[in-house]
Structure formats: C-alpha cells, structure tokens
C-alpha cells in the first residue's frame, strides 16, 4: 500500500430519496476506510472465541440480517433475544437496534462486541488481537494516516462499510425511475399497500423509523418489552422499530424475535392476530385483508427484492 492520502468516496443519494441523516463530515467515506471496515466486518477476531464476526448475524443472503433462524446466535453458541435486523440504508436512520438503544452506528458496534450473549468480549481485547496481526497496522495507516489501532478508528471503519450498503435498485425502484413497469398483481398490490400499509412503511425507505406496539404478545421466556427497556416510559411497552420492507422476501423470519417464519404469518397477524388493547391505534383493530389482497400485496412486496444488493461482491468477504 502507498503512503498517499485516503481516496475519498462520494455517497450517492438514490433518485427521489431524502437526504441522509448521517453526518458524513465527522466520518468521511474513503475507499481505504470502507475496505478496512469490510475486513473487520468478516473478521471473527472481533468476538471472544473467533467464531462470531459481524457477518455471522448479518448475512448478505438475507440483506445482512439473520437468515433462516429466529434468534441470532452469539458467543458460546448462546441465543440472543432478538433477530438481527437487516443492514441496509443505515444512513437514513437516527436510532439503531429494535429498541433504538444505540444513538449511532458506532455505538451499536461497541454494544455488540461488549454483549456477553453476542460477541462476548471487551473492546480492548479485540483491539489487542488486531494489533498482533501484521497486516492491520498497514490497513489502519492507509485509512487514517498512521498505524494507530483504537476503538474510534475501528468503529469508524465499520461504519463507513455498512453505510455503503444502500439497497435502491429493486424492481420497484426501476418502476419509480421509469425503467420498468409493474405486472398487474404488483400494481394491484402496490395500490393496496398505499392504502393499508404505507402509514408506517413509508416510501422510499419503507419505514418511518418510528417505534410501535403492533400487538405481538411478549414472549414469557425473553420478557422483551422493547423500547420501554430503554426509556422506562410505560407508553413504550412492547414498542419496536418499524422494519423496512425492502428485501422482505429475503429477510425471514420476521418480527423482533423472528416468530413469524413466513410473510403469510405476518399478514395473518395483522388481519386477525392482534389482541393487545394497547397496540398502536393504526393496527389495534386489525387490517382488513382478503386472501386475494394478501396475494396481490405479496406480489408487490417481492418487487422490493434488490438482487443486485444481495449479490454485490463489494459487500462480500475479501
């Protein structure tokens, strides 16, 4: 690697999207910073036993969520209490995690490392392992100007990498740009979506990033009360972040604890499964959906699958 300055990268806002909320001035994207973050993302040494890199819970096949099982796995093969949410379009988020406990991506990275049921270690232990690797000082120097390896630089690089995970080229996006047209079921589903779903799953991100109680009963084993565990405000009991519907075809199982393995399960919950009188008023009385409407709605939701994002080699392991 040369001793030249890091190579700046432009963050491109997709057509028709709002401005991102992330402050890129405090952590400008560079090619070397993104490359370092990518190496760290796939490096098991960020976990106590080397077996649980970031990518173990955030898998590209699932838009960087947890694929195929309900609860994410952590150190010593323990189960966490939640299903890891997909990592996509993070530059438009202000709070992170299902409960919004982290105020920044950088803070969220540290929470995962320090959690005894996730990566199971201390940040200093992780940094010491990286310092013992002959290659990492060179990578840190390329990204930040010298060989110093510290927590701020590690989380800055990880953040730069995950910020590049922008999913904006699904069939839906191509239709919005005038490059394609919906099939009849997709168009019918889109019309249903705009009437019955869009108040929470706002375009183009397909989330309003709010926290809502959608009537999912509390698991007595986990006793997970969501946003309430952060704020201690009784009004926040059982509120969780509204997930984006982008790539929802690939991000099963669904819900904060992955209790819904199929989209049909989710839609049936909204149609007839909400029993909590404290559920958000938007869904408290259920959402009227016929079997036909569910079929058309699913056709539209599948149009949000961004295969280019899921197969992008720049997001994969080196």
Give 132's contacts (C-beta < 8 A, 6+ positions apart): none
What dihedral angle (degrees, nearest 10) is formed by the CA atoms of 136, 140, 141, 147?
-70
- Cα–Cα nearest to 160, from 168, 171, 152: 152
Q: How many CB atoms lie within 10 A of CB 132?
A: 9
Task: Return the ∠ at Cα 283 (arms to 279 and 285), rounded to 5°.
Answer: 90
Q: Locate tokens 């972040």: which residue?
A: 241
Query: Would you say 73 and 120 are in contact if contact means Cβ atoms under 8 Å apart?
Result: no
Task: Return the ∠ at Cα 112 (arms to 254 and 87), rounded to 5°.
Answer: 45
* 57 assigned ligand-binding residue: yes
Sign of CA dihedral 282, 286, 290, 294: positive
* 58 assigned ligand-binding residue: yes
Distance of CA 150 to the CA centre of its chain: 25
pLDDT in tens, 228-286: 999 999 999 999 999 999 999 999 999 999 999 999 999 999 999 999 999 999 999 99
Quick one: pLDDT band at residue 3, thresholds 50, 70, 90?
A: low
Percent share of the chain, pLDDT over 90: 95
* 54 assigned ligand-binding residue: yes
* 109 assigned ligand-binding residue: no
Quick one: pLDDT band at residue 1, thresholds 50, 70, 90?
A: very low
Q: How much is the pLDDT for 68? A: 79
Task: Kindly report which listed range (15-29, 59-73, 94-108, 157-171) carries the lowest average pLDDT score.
Answer: 59-73
pLDDT in tens, 48-89: 999 999 999 999 999 999 987 899 989 987 888 999 999 999
Query: Would you say 64 and 70 are in contact if contact means Cβ atoms under 8 Å apart?
Result: no
| Whole-number Å distance between alpha carbons of 121 and 51 | 12
* 197 assigned ligand-binding residue: yes
| Whole-number Å distance between alpha carbons of 165 and 60 | 10
| Whole-number Å distance between alpha carbons of 92 and 207 | 10
- Average pLDDT for 170-183: 98
Query: Would you say 167 and 309 are in contact if contact means Cβ atoms under 8 Å apart?
Result: yes
Query: Would you say 21 and 27 are in contact if contact means Cβ atoms under 8 Å apart?
Result: no
The DSSP call for residue 199 is: T
31-167: CATH class:
mainly alpha
pLDDT in tens, 193-225: 999 999 999 999 999 999 999 999 999 999 999
Task: Return the ∠ at Cα 176 (arms to 173 and 180), rounded to 5°.
Answer: 80
| Whole-number Å distance between alpha carbons of 263 and 284 | 19
pTM above 0.75? yes
Identify the helix (H) or strand (E) that includes residue 52. none
For the chain, the structural domain boundaries read 31-167, 171-307
The domain 171-307 is placed in CATH, from the list 1.10.760.10, 3.30.1300.10, 3.30.450.20, 1.10.3470.10, at 1.10.760.10
Helix, strand, or coil (residue 140): helix
Buried b (16+ CB within 10 A) or exposed e, 188-225: bbbebbeeebeebbeebbbbebebbbbbbeeeeeeebb
Identify the helix (H) or strand (E) that includes residue 154. helix 151-163
Do the domains 31-167 and 171-307 sit in the same CATH topology, yes or no? yes
Name 260's bridge partners. Answer: 254
């Amino acid at each position: 690697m040369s001793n030249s300055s890091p190579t700046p990268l432009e963050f491109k806002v997709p057509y028709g999207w709002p401005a991102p909320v992330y402050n890129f001035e405090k952590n400008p994207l560079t090619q070397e910073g993104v490359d370092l973050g990518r190496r760290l993302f796939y490096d098991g040494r960020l976990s106590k036993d080397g077996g649980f890199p970031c990518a173990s819970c955030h898998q590209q096949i699932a838009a960087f969520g947890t694929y195929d099982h309900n609860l994410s796995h952590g150190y010593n093969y323990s189960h966490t209490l939640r299903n890891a949410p997909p990592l996509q379009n993070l530059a438009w988020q202000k709070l992170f995690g299902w409960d919004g406990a982290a105020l920044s991506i950088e803070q969220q990275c540290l929470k995962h490392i320090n959690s005894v049921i996730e990566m199971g270690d201390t940040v200093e232990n992780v940094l010491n392992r990286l310092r013992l690797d002959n290659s990492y000082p060179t990578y840190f120097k390329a990204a930040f100007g010298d060989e110093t390896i510290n927590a701020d630089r590690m989380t800055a690089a990880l953040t730069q990498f995950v910020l590049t995970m922008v999913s904006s080229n699904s069939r839906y996006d191509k239709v919005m740009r005038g490059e394609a047209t919906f099939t009849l079921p997709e168009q019918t589903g889109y019309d249903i979506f705009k009437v019955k779903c869009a108040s929470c799953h706002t375009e183009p991100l397909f989330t309003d990033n709010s926290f809502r109680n959608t009537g999912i009963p509390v698991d007595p084993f986990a006793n997970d009360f969501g946003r309430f565990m952060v704020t201690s405000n009784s009004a926040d009991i059982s509120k969780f972040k509204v997930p984006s519907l982008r790539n929802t075809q690939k991000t099963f199982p669904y819900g904060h604890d992955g209790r819904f393995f199929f989209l049909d399960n989710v839609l049936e919950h909204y149609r007839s499964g909400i029993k909590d009188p404290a559920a958000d008023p938007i869904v408290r009385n259920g959402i009227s959906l016929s079997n036909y409407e569910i079929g058309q709605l699913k056709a539209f939701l599948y149009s949000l699958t961004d295969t280019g994002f899921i197969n992008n080699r720049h997001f994969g392991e080196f």
